[in-house]
Structure 1
């Protein structure tokens, strides 16, 4: 599993915001969280409703709910079409659970107490260089999710919302020469499933923690499932052997250099001599241009012990430490790139 949200990077930063609006931006985020948690957008999918009706269904105070929706409507999230009656807008559509580009789950995850408190302790990470989350809870986020299944489910739903980047990966890379592909830490396997659907002669292996693998089996189409093995394990210990290619999507960024290198070394040991390693990740470019991944990097700092978004130079050093040469870095139509590597000669 991963902590990134590749779908949710901004294509253009709102540079027209004033300094005071930047200072108060978290007010808007908190309002979005509560309406996402309450499912307000889902309640409006069939038409506008009065705040009294919405409050009755959500067990909230009508006037307080009105004030929140009025504030959000002022920035284009919902619209007050007549006194105290609200409808969806284009921005509010994505807060629906089943919208094509839904961000409801990620809005909820970002606002949950454990996540929000960790960001509230950003100063701790700044002073120590260590994970604020681990400082607060005495464990990393993955361990926390294991011990708190409800939060683990919220996390899983949020990560699933990044699946729409899969077509961008398929459009950018030709997988036709690969016969056997192993997806390391692939979660429920949406990327691997989409690749297998596109390449009917390919076989795959989905590798993740045993509990994740058990959940993944229930979400696959049977026709594609017949060409895939589901293997549970720990990528720090061992991974499936002798495949043509290994793919890691948003895995390396969760770890410090030592542990990231250890994962890559496991791939190096397992893969064929002529095999390929494909790391799908953000690559931070030089310069001052806005990239959402620069803020995702801060999320890694706070949430993951040692986690970080890397530059091309940092990736070069990391891959060399694990015995790989990067052959090319292929951009996609998002901030995500495909880093292709082979065993160093």
Structure 2
């Protein structure tokens, strides 16, 4: 990695996929760069543990109240805070080669900083800009600011790129850089996790399907539970919890799991750090998003864990899985097809093993941190 000086800016400090990606790049450039967070949270601790310099410029409540789905009125209420933060980032960026904005609110602040004489701006877009998640106002603001002020827009998949262009974004700004993964974290963990299964109270002789995601309707945990209810031997491991006001969905899932057809077969772990071991305790990993997924980190983690992945078609998943070769792809919102895919994996062990080996080889080659950092370096050059 060269000595390029980057001011990384992130509004969010929880650990979603975009923030995990930021950790990798900020760590790679930690000798010359700095991260500025606009909210405090666990991301700050994780970065500091790696030796990354971090500062928090606390955003106001008005900015926190602006959601991705908010309209113009809500967005205008936060303009004073955005301008204040933009001036601060513009001043800080004088000592850096570029500003790397890691999410939409962070990018709006970075664009204002650029307007006020700050360093060139790269927007790292981790989301598919669709009406399902983003209001028309927020899509228009983001794309217009990108076209005017961004030197580059880095996207995490071709699906994310296509949505940016469809929303009016300038194609010439785009560079695709996939997420990177440290395969050593997975290779160092024993493939046999029988002891861990015992600790979790899961019988060794029962198939276990894991799902690793925050509990959210669009992540589709309810689809997995409905599929498992049709397969009386299958246990389900849910790793993750509700964020962003989604506690109501968690209660819905608890009610589904309490039904007689699932009683005693759903295991709730909340957020955990030992993901490689937990994945290797599973017999398969499900990825059940009901809307297009920008990338799909969990799928690559499953591949590196040498566990078969079943994922819903849409977004970046088709760029990670070739159906029947490196995993199984099924349409979203279909518990019956998910149950059939699970049965296929458990019944045809030889074909499943071939998929697992092919997926592992692909993940090691295509999504390694060195190769992804090289792509990132070319994108910001």
Q: Is the structural similarity TM-score above 0.5? A: no
Q: TM-score range by the shorter chain?
A: 0.3 to 0.5
**TM-score, normalised via structure 2 length:** 0.31
- Relative contact order (C-alpha < 8 Å, sep 6+): which is higher? 1
